[in-house]
């Protein structure tokens, strides 16, 4: 079976909701995962979080 022969496409979307909207407009079944990186990806904050995790409290 070729990928082009898929009877019903189902998509797991992690991130941009605009992709979810576009797929739904094409009658594609979509599961939207609301995810964002810890500390919004801020490297400095991630370093602080890592140091806090190392503390034995």
Tokens of residue 44, six digits: 């400095």
What does pTM read for this prediction? Answer: 0.56
pLDDT digits (tens, 9 = 90+) for 2-55: 667 767 889 999 988 999 999 999 999 999 999 888 999 999 999 999 999 999
pLDDT at residue 56 tops 80: no
The pLDDT value given to residue 28? 94
The 3-state secondary structure of 28-57, one letter per residue: CEEEEECCCCHHHHCHHHHHHHHHHHHCCC
Tokens of residue 51, six digits: 């140091």
The pLDDT value given to residue 8? 84
The pLDDT value given to residue 47? 96
The pLDDT value given to residue 3? 65
């Amino acid at each position: 079976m070729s990928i082009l022969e898929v009877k019903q496409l189902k998509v797991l979307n992690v991130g941009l909701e605009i992709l979810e909207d576009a797929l739904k407009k094409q009658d594609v079944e979509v599961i939207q995962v609301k995810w964002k990186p810890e500390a919004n990806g801020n490297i400095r904050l991630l370093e602080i979080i890592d140091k806090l995790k190392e503390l034995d409290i």
